Amino acid sequence: MNYLAHVYLSGSDESLCIGNFIGDHVKGKAYLDYPETIQNGILLHRKIDYFTDRHLLFKKNVTLLFPQFRHYSRVIVDMFFDHFLANQWNNYHPEPLEQFSKHFYVMLEKYSCILPDKTKKILPIISKYNWFLAYGTFDGMEKILSQISLRTKFSSNLSSALVALEKNYPKIAIDFKIFFSELEDFVEKEKEKLT
């Protein structure tokens, strides 16, 4: 899953949320350098990724994109699924997404001294363009994918993936709904183990 889903799935625990958000930028045993509560978030992030990568509906959508986007397919499906979460946000969370986003960016500032360098690099872009809110629209997704394309080593033309999203929208929406319900159940059980 992508950034919005990781933050949403963390619930109201700030430390868990920060750890879950930075999870991609903390490799191997480096998570042990963080306070235990942040460690739990990093470990939860890894469990979410493990669950996602092995889920049949996620793999089905990666396979759909693979002929054109190769190893970027997984990243694109992560973003597609964040699109559906943002687009249907009021079905998942009582706080409007705009407010949720603002609160999260303030929280990141509070923890800025412990954020990995990679997180600090992307943070100004994520907050300036409010990626969480942007995920919910095609225009927003196009801007985000274009920004990511600029940072890829090879010409990836990621924003053209939106053609596949539009073409397969109803099917991917159903896949997301089923997948995300199962992911939420999985995460709740994993969070219970951490307490």
**pTM score > 0.85 for this model?**
yes
pLDDT of residue 2: 85
- Supply the DSSP symbol for 12: T
Question: Which pLDDT belongs to residue 126?
Answer: 87
Give the pair of three-digit tokens for residue 14.
Answer: 């700030």
Would you state the pLDDT for residue 132? 95
CA distance 185 to 91: 16
CA distances from 166 to 4, 83, 137, 159 (A): 21, 12, 11, 12
pLDDT at 73: 93
Domain boundaries, the chain: 55-194
**What does pLDDT average to in each consecutive run of 10 residues of the chain (195 residues)?**
91 96 96 96 97 97 93 92 97 97 93 94 88 94 85 72 95 98 97 84
Q: Tokens 């001294």 appear where?
A: 113
**pLDDT confidence of residue 156:** 65
> How many residues in the chain?
195
